Chains A and B, each alone.
Chain A
Amino acid sequence: MSQPAPIHPQGFPSGGWRGFAADWASDQRAFKGVSWGKAMMWVFLLSDTFIFGCFLLSYMTARMSTVEPWPNASEVFGLTIGGVEMPLILIAIMTFVLISSSGTMAMAVNYAYRRDRVRTALLMLVTAVFGAMFVGMQAFEWTKLISEGVRPWGNPWGAPQFGAIFFMITGFHGTHVTFGVIFLLIVAHKVWRGDFDQGRRGFFTSRSGRYEIVEITGLYWHFVDLVWVFIFAFFYLW
Protein backbone atom coordinates (compact mmCIF):
# COMPACT_ATOMS: atom_id res chain seq x y z
CA MET A 1 0.00 0.00 0.00
CA SER A 2 1.32 3.41 -0.88
CA GLN A 3 1.11 6.40 1.39
CA PRO A 4 -1.39 9.03 0.30
CA ALA A 5 0.42 11.82 -1.54
CA PRO A 6 0.92 15.08 0.38
CA ILE A 7 -1.97 17.42 -0.21
CA HIS A 8 -1.56 20.73 -2.00
CA PRO A 9 -3.02 23.81 -0.25
CA GLN A 10 -5.94 23.78 -2.71
CA GLY A 11 -6.57 20.12 -2.00
CA PHE A 12 -4.54 18.64 -4.84
CA PRO A 13 -1.95 15.95 -4.30
CA SER A 14 1.38 17.57 -5.03
CA GLY A 15 3.81 14.93 -6.17
CA GLY A 16 4.39 11.68 -8.03
CA TRP A 17 1.81 9.91 -10.16
CA ARG A 18 -1.13 11.24 -8.12
CA GLY A 19 0.18 14.76 -8.60
CA PHE A 20 0.67 14.07 -12.31
CA ALA A 21 -2.92 12.89 -12.71
CA ALA A 22 -4.30 15.75 -10.62
CA ASP A 23 -2.27 18.35 -12.55
CA TRP A 24 -3.41 17.14 -15.93
CA ALA A 25 -6.98 16.68 -14.80
CA SER A 26 -7.22 20.16 -13.34
CA ASP A 27 -9.19 22.91 -15.01
CA GLN A 28 -6.65 25.47 -13.85
CA ARG A 29 -2.93 25.38 -14.59
CA ALA A 30 -1.43 22.09 -15.64
CA PHE A 31 2.02 22.69 -14.14
CA LYS A 32 1.34 23.78 -10.58
CA GLY A 33 4.45 25.01 -8.86
CA VAL A 34 6.14 25.66 -12.21
CA SER A 35 6.02 29.31 -13.23
CA TRP A 36 4.66 30.30 -16.61
CA GLY A 37 8.02 31.64 -17.68
CA LYS A 38 9.69 28.32 -17.06
CA ALA A 39 6.86 26.23 -18.53
CA MET A 40 6.82 28.32 -21.70
CA MET A 41 10.59 28.08 -22.11
CA TRP A 42 10.24 24.30 -21.83
CA VAL A 43 7.48 24.28 -24.44
CA PHE A 44 9.65 26.38 -26.74
CA LEU A 45 12.56 24.02 -26.20
CA LEU A 46 10.33 21.07 -27.02
CA SER A 47 9.40 22.72 -30.31
CA ASP A 48 13.09 23.32 -30.94
CA THR A 49 13.74 19.66 -30.18
CA PHE A 50 11.39 18.77 -33.01
CA ILE A 51 13.16 21.14 -35.39
CA PHE A 52 16.59 19.74 -34.61
CA GLY A 53 15.09 16.26 -34.57
CA CYS A 54 13.80 16.76 -38.10
CA PHE A 55 17.19 18.05 -39.25
CA LEU A 56 18.98 15.05 -37.83
CA LEU A 57 16.33 12.74 -39.25
CA SER A 58 16.70 14.22 -42.73
CA TYR A 59 20.42 13.80 -42.35
CA MET A 60 19.98 10.15 -41.38
CA THR A 61 17.67 9.58 -44.34
CA ALA A 62 20.02 11.29 -46.80
CA ARG A 63 23.04 9.44 -45.48
CA MET A 64 21.35 6.04 -45.53
CA SER A 65 19.88 6.47 -48.99
CA THR A 66 22.86 7.96 -50.83
CA VAL A 67 24.81 5.53 -52.98
CA GLU A 68 27.97 7.63 -52.96
CA PRO A 69 30.45 7.23 -50.12
CA TRP A 70 29.95 9.50 -47.12
CA PRO A 71 32.99 11.67 -46.29
CA ASN A 72 34.99 10.51 -43.25
CA ALA A 73 34.22 13.17 -40.65
CA SER A 74 37.24 12.20 -38.58
CA GLU A 75 39.55 13.26 -41.43
CA VAL A 76 37.44 16.11 -42.79
CA PHE A 77 37.42 17.83 -39.40
CA GLY A 78 40.98 16.98 -38.49
CA LEU A 79 43.70 19.58 -38.16
CA THR A 80 47.43 19.41 -38.59
CA ILE A 81 48.98 21.10 -35.56
CA GLY A 82 52.76 21.40 -35.49
CA GLY A 83 53.10 18.72 -38.15
CA VAL A 84 50.96 16.24 -36.22
CA GLU A 85 47.65 15.14 -37.69
CA MET A 86 44.92 15.43 -35.06
CA PRO A 87 41.63 13.82 -36.07
CA LEU A 88 38.54 15.74 -35.08
CA ILE A 89 40.56 17.94 -32.71
CA LEU A 90 38.69 21.19 -33.38
CA ILE A 91 35.34 19.55 -32.67
CA ALA A 92 36.68 18.09 -29.44
CA ILE A 93 37.84 21.51 -28.27
CA MET A 94 34.48 23.03 -29.24
CA THR A 95 32.72 20.33 -27.24
CA PHE A 96 34.79 20.99 -24.14
CA VAL A 97 34.24 24.75 -24.46
CA LEU A 98 30.48 24.30 -24.69
CA ILE A 99 30.37 21.88 -21.75
CA SER A 100 32.35 24.33 -19.67
CA SER A 101 29.89 27.07 -20.56
CA SER A 102 27.11 24.81 -19.30
CA GLY A 103 28.97 24.35 -16.03
CA THR A 104 29.41 28.07 -15.43
CA MET A 105 25.76 28.67 -16.37
CA ALA A 106 24.50 26.10 -13.86
CA MET A 107 26.54 27.83 -11.16
CA ALA A 108 25.19 31.24 -12.22
CA VAL A 109 21.64 29.97 -11.64
CA ASN A 110 22.63 28.85 -8.18
CA TYR A 111 24.12 32.21 -7.24
CA ALA A 112 21.12 34.00 -8.74
CA TYR A 113 18.78 32.29 -6.28
CA ARG A 114 21.17 33.28 -3.50
CA ARG A 115 20.86 36.85 -4.80
CA ASP A 116 24.60 37.13 -5.27
CA ARG A 117 24.47 39.72 -8.05
CA VAL A 118 28.18 40.01 -8.75
CA ARG A 119 28.93 36.28 -8.96
CA THR A 120 25.82 35.64 -11.05
CA ALA A 121 26.64 38.35 -13.57
CA LEU A 122 30.30 37.34 -13.79
CA LEU A 123 29.48 33.66 -14.29
CA MET A 124 26.97 34.55 -17.01
CA LEU A 125 29.59 36.73 -18.63
CA VAL A 126 32.06 33.81 -18.59
CA THR A 127 29.34 31.64 -20.13
CA ALA A 128 28.81 34.21 -22.87
CA VAL A 129 32.55 34.35 -23.54
CA PHE A 130 32.67 30.55 -23.90
CA GLY A 131 29.71 30.78 -26.27
CA ALA A 132 31.43 33.43 -28.35
CA MET A 133 34.57 31.27 -28.46
CA PHE A 134 32.46 28.41 -29.75
CA VAL A 135 30.96 30.54 -32.52
CA GLY A 136 34.43 31.84 -33.38
CA MET A 137 35.77 28.31 -33.77
CA GLN A 138 32.76 27.43 -35.87
CA ALA A 139 33.52 30.39 -38.14
CA PHE A 140 37.07 29.04 -38.46
CA GLU A 141 35.74 25.57 -39.27
CA TRP A 142 33.38 26.93 -41.93
CA THR A 143 36.12 29.05 -43.47
CA LYS A 144 38.45 26.07 -43.67
CA LEU A 145 35.87 23.80 -45.26
CA ILE A 146 34.69 26.44 -47.73
CA SER A 147 38.30 27.01 -48.80
CA GLU A 148 38.60 23.25 -49.32
CA GLY A 149 35.63 23.35 -51.68
CA VAL A 150 32.70 22.27 -49.51
CA ARG A 151 29.46 23.76 -50.79
CA PRO A 152 25.78 23.11 -50.02
CA TRP A 153 25.67 21.22 -53.34
CA GLY A 154 28.93 19.30 -53.14
CA ASN A 155 32.27 18.49 -51.59
CA PRO A 156 35.55 16.97 -52.73
CA TRP A 157 35.14 13.70 -50.80
CA GLY A 158 31.91 12.08 -51.95
CA ALA A 159 28.20 12.43 -51.31
CA PRO A 160 27.15 16.01 -52.14
CA GLN A 161 24.48 15.94 -49.40
CA PHE A 162 27.29 16.18 -46.86
CA GLY A 163 27.79 19.87 -47.62
CA ALA A 164 24.11 20.77 -47.44
CA ILE A 165 23.63 18.96 -44.15
CA PHE A 166 26.81 20.32 -42.62
CA PHE A 167 25.92 23.95 -43.29
CA MET A 168 22.29 23.47 -42.34
CA ILE A 169 22.77 21.73 -39.01
CA THR A 170 25.88 23.46 -37.72
CA GLY A 171 24.61 26.78 -39.05
CA PHE A 172 21.31 26.45 -37.24
CA HIS A 173 23.07 25.40 -34.06
CA GLY A 174 25.57 28.26 -34.36
CA THR A 175 22.66 30.67 -34.75
CA HIS A 176 21.19 29.31 -31.53
CA VAL A 177 24.50 29.82 -29.75
CA THR A 178 24.74 33.38 -31.08
CA PHE A 179 21.25 34.26 -29.86
CA GLY A 180 22.07 32.58 -26.56
CA VAL A 181 25.13 34.80 -26.12
CA ILE A 182 23.00 37.91 -26.73
CA PHE A 183 20.33 36.61 -24.32
CA LEU A 184 23.02 35.92 -21.68
CA LEU A 185 24.55 39.38 -22.01
CA ILE A 186 21.16 41.09 -21.66
CA VAL A 187 20.20 39.13 -18.55
CA ALA A 188 23.70 39.46 -17.06
CA HIS A 189 23.42 43.22 -17.49
CA LYS A 190 20.06 43.26 -15.71
CA VAL A 191 21.42 41.18 -12.85
CA TRP A 192 24.51 43.38 -12.55
CA ARG A 193 22.35 46.52 -12.47
CA GLY A 194 20.20 45.01 -9.72
CA ASP A 195 16.93 45.07 -11.67
CA PHE A 196 15.55 42.07 -9.81
CA ASP A 197 16.30 43.53 -6.39
CA GLN A 198 14.75 46.92 -7.12
CA GLY A 199 11.75 45.60 -9.05
CA ARG A 200 12.79 47.71 -12.03
CA ARG A 201 10.43 47.28 -14.96
CA GLY A 202 11.65 45.81 -18.22
CA PHE A 203 11.60 48.16 -21.21
CA PHE A 204 9.77 45.63 -23.38
CA THR A 205 7.26 44.01 -21.04
CA SER A 206 7.05 46.90 -18.53
CA ARG A 207 6.91 44.27 -15.80
CA SER A 208 9.41 43.76 -13.04
CA GLY A 209 11.40 40.59 -13.54
CA ARG A 210 12.57 37.98 -11.05
CA TYR A 211 15.79 36.14 -10.53
CA GLU A 212 14.07 33.16 -12.10
CA ILE A 213 14.94 34.62 -15.51
CA VAL A 214 18.50 33.46 -14.89
CA GLU A 215 17.28 29.88 -14.60
CA ILE A 216 15.13 30.31 -17.73
CA THR A 217 18.11 31.69 -19.64
CA GLY A 218 20.04 28.72 -18.32
CA LEU A 219 17.44 26.30 -19.69
CA TYR A 220 17.96 27.76 -23.14
CA TRP A 221 21.71 27.65 -22.80
CA HIS A 222 21.83 24.05 -21.57
CA PHE A 223 19.55 23.10 -24.44
CA VAL A 224 22.07 24.51 -26.91
CA ASP A 225 24.71 22.33 -25.25
CA LEU A 226 22.32 19.38 -25.32
CA VAL A 227 21.75 19.72 -29.06
CA TRP A 228 25.50 19.77 -29.57
CA VAL A 229 25.76 16.44 -27.74
CA PHE A 230 23.56 14.90 -30.44
CA ILE A 231 25.26 16.69 -33.33
CA PHE A 232 28.66 15.64 -31.98
CA ALA A 233 27.56 12.01 -31.81
CA PHE A 234 25.60 11.73 -35.04
CA PHE A 235 27.37 14.10 -37.37
CA TYR A 236 30.99 14.10 -36.26
CA LEU A 237 31.54 10.69 -34.67
CA TRP A 238 29.13 8.52 -36.63
Chain B
Amino acid sequence: MASTAQQEGQQHPIRLYLVVWGWLFILSACSYLVDVLHLEGYLRWSLILLFMVLKAGLIVAIFMHMAWERLALTYAILLPAVLVLVFVAIMTFEANYTRYLRLTWFEAVEAPEAFDELQSAVGEDRS
Protein backbone atom coordinates (compact mmCIF):
# COMPACT_ATOMS: atom_id res chain seq x y z
CA MET B 1 0.00 0.00 0.00
CA ALA B 2 2.96 2.34 0.48
CA SER B 3 3.56 5.06 -2.06
CA THR B 4 6.41 3.45 -3.92
CA ALA B 5 5.32 4.23 -7.47
CA GLN B 6 4.92 7.96 -7.13
CA GLN B 7 8.13 9.31 -8.64
CA GLU B 8 7.62 8.38 -12.27
CA GLY B 9 3.84 8.01 -12.12
CA GLN B 10 2.22 4.61 -12.07
CA GLN B 11 4.72 2.13 -13.51
CA HIS B 12 3.51 -1.44 -13.54
CA PRO B 13 4.34 -4.24 -15.92
CA ILE B 14 2.07 -4.52 -18.98
CA ARG B 15 1.69 -8.20 -18.13
CA LEU B 16 -0.29 -7.28 -15.01
CA TYR B 17 -2.80 -5.33 -17.09
CA LEU B 18 -3.17 -8.19 -19.54
CA VAL B 19 -3.81 -10.64 -16.70
CA VAL B 20 -6.49 -8.35 -15.23
CA TRP B 21 -8.00 -7.90 -18.68
CA GLY B 22 -8.18 -11.67 -19.05
CA TRP B 23 -9.83 -12.05 -15.65
CA LEU B 24 -12.41 -9.38 -16.49
CA PHE B 25 -13.23 -11.34 -19.64
CA ILE B 26 -13.58 -14.59 -17.70
CA LEU B 27 -15.72 -12.99 -14.99
CA SER B 28 -17.98 -11.31 -17.58
CA ALA B 29 -18.38 -14.61 -19.39
CA CYS B 30 -19.33 -16.22 -16.07
CA SER B 31 -21.97 -13.54 -15.40
CA TYR B 32 -23.36 -14.13 -18.87
CA LEU B 33 -23.39 -17.88 -18.26
CA VAL B 34 -25.51 -17.33 -15.14
CA ASP B 35 -28.19 -16.01 -17.47
CA VAL B 36 -27.67 -18.54 -20.28
CA LEU B 37 -27.89 -21.46 -17.86
CA HIS B 38 -31.10 -20.01 -16.34
CA LEU B 39 -29.83 -20.24 -12.80
CA GLU B 40 -32.51 -19.02 -10.41
CA GLY B 41 -33.02 -17.97 -6.82
CA TYR B 42 -30.28 -17.32 -4.30
CA LEU B 43 -27.67 -19.08 -6.42
CA ARG B 44 -28.31 -16.64 -9.27
CA TRP B 45 -28.25 -13.52 -7.08
CA SER B 46 -25.14 -14.50 -5.17
CA LEU B 47 -23.23 -15.42 -8.34
CA ILE B 48 -24.22 -12.16 -10.05
CA LEU B 49 -23.12 -10.14 -7.01
CA LEU B 50 -19.90 -12.13 -6.63
CA PHE B 51 -18.81 -11.62 -10.24
CA MET B 52 -19.85 -7.96 -10.08
CA VAL B 53 -17.82 -7.26 -6.94
CA LEU B 54 -14.77 -9.10 -8.28
CA LYS B 55 -14.87 -7.16 -11.56
CA ALA B 56 -15.38 -3.82 -9.83
CA GLY B 57 -12.56 -4.60 -7.41
CA LEU B 58 -10.12 -5.49 -10.19
CA ILE B 59 -10.95 -2.34 -12.14
CA VAL B 60 -10.61 -0.02 -9.15
CA ALA B 61 -7.57 -1.68 -7.60
CA ILE B 62 -5.45 -2.35 -10.69
CA PHE B 63 -6.72 -0.32 -13.64
CA MET B 64 -7.43 2.77 -11.54
CA HIS B 65 -4.27 2.14 -9.45
CA MET B 66 -6.13 2.42 -6.16
CA ALA B 67 -4.00 -0.39 -4.73
CA TRP B 68 -0.93 1.86 -4.93
CA GLU B 69 -2.46 5.15 -3.83
CA ARG B 70 -2.02 6.73 -0.43
CA LEU B 71 -4.33 5.34 2.22
CA ALA B 72 -5.73 8.85 2.82
CA LEU B 73 -7.05 8.99 -0.75
CA THR B 74 -8.24 5.38 -0.75
CA TYR B 75 -10.40 5.90 2.33
CA ALA B 76 -11.66 9.31 1.17
CA ILE B 77 -13.01 7.70 -2.00
CA LEU B 78 -14.02 4.19 -0.98
CA LEU B 79 -15.69 4.82 2.40
CA PRO B 80 -18.37 7.27 1.16
CA ALA B 81 -19.16 4.89 -1.69
CA VAL B 82 -19.61 2.00 0.73
CA LEU B 83 -21.93 4.11 2.88
CA VAL B 84 -24.40 4.15 -0.02
CA LEU B 85 -25.31 0.66 1.24
CA VAL B 86 -27.05 2.28 4.23
CA PHE B 87 -29.21 4.17 1.76
CA VAL B 88 -29.93 0.88 -0.02
CA ALA B 89 -31.14 -0.65 3.23
CA ILE B 90 -33.39 2.33 3.97
CA MET B 91 -34.91 2.28 0.49
CA THR B 92 -35.55 -1.46 0.76
CA PHE B 93 -37.84 -0.85 3.73
CA GLU B 94 -39.45 2.05 1.90
CA ALA B 95 -40.08 0.02 -1.26
CA ASN B 96 -41.56 -2.90 0.66
CA TYR B 97 -43.91 -0.56 2.45
CA THR B 98 -44.98 1.14 -0.80
CA ARG B 99 -45.67 -2.25 -2.35
CA TYR B 100 -47.69 -3.29 0.66
CA LEU B 101 -49.82 -0.13 0.40
CA ARG B 102 -50.31 -0.54 -3.34
CA LEU B 103 -51.40 -4.14 -2.97
CA THR B 104 -53.69 -3.23 -0.10
CA TRP B 105 -55.42 -0.26 -1.68
CA PHE B 106 -55.25 -0.83 -5.42
CA GLU B 107 -55.47 -4.57 -5.92
CA ALA B 108 -57.83 -5.42 -3.11
CA VAL B 109 -60.59 -3.20 -4.51
CA GLU B 110 -60.61 -5.17 -7.77
CA ALA B 111 -59.96 -8.64 -6.41
CA PRO B 112 -60.98 -9.17 -2.77
CA GLU B 113 -59.66 -12.73 -2.74
CA ALA B 114 -56.20 -11.46 -3.68
CA PHE B 115 -56.31 -9.32 -0.58
CA ASP B 116 -56.56 -12.30 1.75
CA GLU B 117 -53.73 -14.00 -0.05
CA LEU B 118 -51.69 -10.87 0.25
CA GLN B 119 -52.37 -10.41 3.92
CA SER B 120 -51.10 -13.83 4.75
CA ALA B 121 -48.03 -13.25 2.54
CA VAL B 122 -47.24 -9.93 4.19
CA GLY B 123 -47.85 -11.48 7.59
CA GLU B 124 -45.19 -14.07 6.87
CA ASP B 125 -42.85 -11.42 5.62
CA ARG B 126 -43.14 -9.37 8.74
CA SER B 127 -42.79 -12.14 11.28
Contacts and interface: CB of A to CB of B under 8 A. Distances in A.
Task: Tell whether A pairs with B.
Answer: yes
Interface of A: 6, 14-17, 19-20, 23-24, 30-34, 39, 42, 45-46, 49-50, 53, 57, 60-67, 74, 87-88, 92, 95-96, 99-100, 102-103, 105-107, 109-110, 112-114, 211-212, 215, 218-219, 222-223, 225-226, 229-230, 232-233, 237-238
Given A113-B9, A229-B56, 7 more contacts: A19-B72, A50-B84, A61-B91, A64-B96, A88-B36, A226-B64, A229-B59
Nearest to A67: B102
Contacts of A14: 2-3
B59 A66 contact: no
B80 A103 contact: no
Nearest to A105: B63
A238 B48 CA distance: 8
A106 B20 contact: yes
Chain A to chain B: the 3 pairs with minimum beta-carbon distance, closest first: A64-B95, A103-B21, A23-B72
A17 B69 CA distance: 13
Nearest to B90: A57
Contacts of A106: 17, 20-21, 62-63
A63 B94 CA distance: 12
A130 to B, nearest CB: 12
B39 to A, nearest CB: 10
A106 B77 CA distance: 20
Interface string B79-98: 01100100110011011101
Contact of A20 (B24, B34, B75): B75
Residue of A31, A102, A229 most packed against chain B (CB within 10 A):
A229
Interface string B1-25: 1110010111110100110110011
Interface of B: 1-3, 6, 8-12, 14, 17-18, 20-21, 24-25, 28, 31-32, 34-36, 45, 48-49, 51-52, 55-56, 59-60, 62-65, 69-73, 75-77, 80-81, 84, 87-88, 91-92, 94-96, 98-99, 102-103, 106-107
11 contacts: A15-B71, A16-B1, A19-B3, A23-B70, A23-B71, A32-B72, A64-B92, A67-B106, A113-B10, A233-B31, A233-B52
A171 to B, nearest CB: 21
A16 B71 contact: yes
A57 B60 CA distance: 21
Contact of A67 (B9, B49, B99): B99
Given A31-B70, A222-B63, A110 B11 contact: yes
Given A16-B1, A65-B99, A88 B73 contact: no
A28 B61 CA distance: 27
Contacts of A218: 63-64
A165 B22 CA distance: 31
A16 to B, nearest CB: 6
B10 A107 contact: no
Nearest to A15: B2
B24 A237 contact: no
A103 B2 contact: no
A15 B71 CA distance: 7
B18 A31 contact: no
